[in-house]
Amino acid sequence: MLVQVRLKDGTMFPHAYFADLDCDGALEVRDRDPTFCSSWVAAFDQVNRRRKLRKINAAVIAVAEELRREAFLVVSQATRQHEIASYVSDDFDLIVRARVLDFEDPFVNQLWLAYEKGAFPLPLAARK
């Protein structure tokens, strides 16, 4: 899977980007933005509702869990900060579960696009 390769080779989460990121500031910006927070929670709730209605193959769940774990480890190593690694891990969990459940959501797509570009997703107003 391409995402796993990119996680392991450092192109998904460029070490330099995350090492230079003001992690506390980035988390604060996300936490203070009511639109970002409500969009994240709404997507999470939708995914959870769909998950209860659909059986997912155990192998797919295992791959999703491995992606989440790998994302946490890579960001944790780059930043030496577990809090931002937890946010990234939670974002990845949301993205992967949404994809597995065929849940199309503009907010989830924006999360993915940010990570695909090697950046931590921030509210639109905070992006430069």
pLDDT tens for each residue of 51-89 = 888 888 888 888 888 888 988 988 898 888 999 999 999
Q: Which residue has the tokens 């969009």?
A: 39
Does the residue 87 lie in any domain? Answer: yes
H or E element that contains 100: helix 82-100
Are the C-beta atoms of 84 and 120 separated by less than 8 Å?
A: yes
> Is residue 4 assigned to a domain?
no
Task: Examine residue 83 and state whether it is found in any structural domain, yes or no.
Answer: yes
Range of the domain at 52: 14-118
Q: Check residue 125 and give its pLDDT.
A: 67
> Mean pLDDT, to the nearest integer, of 82-107?
93
* pLDDT value for 49: 93
pLDDT class of 44 with cuts at 50, 70, 90: very high
Say if residue 13's pLDDT is above 90: no
- Structurally, how many domains does the chain consist of? 1
Q: Would 3 be classed as within a structural domain? A: no
Mean residue pLDDT of the chain comes to 88
Taking 90 as the threshold, does the pLDDT of residue 4 lie above it?
A: no
Model confidence at 92, in pLDDT bands (50, 70, 90)? very high
Residue 35 lies in a domain: yes
Cα separation, 34 vs 14, whole angstroms: 28
Residue 109 lies inside a defined structural domain of this protein: yes
Residue 6 lies in a domain: no
Domain for residue 99, yes or no?
yes
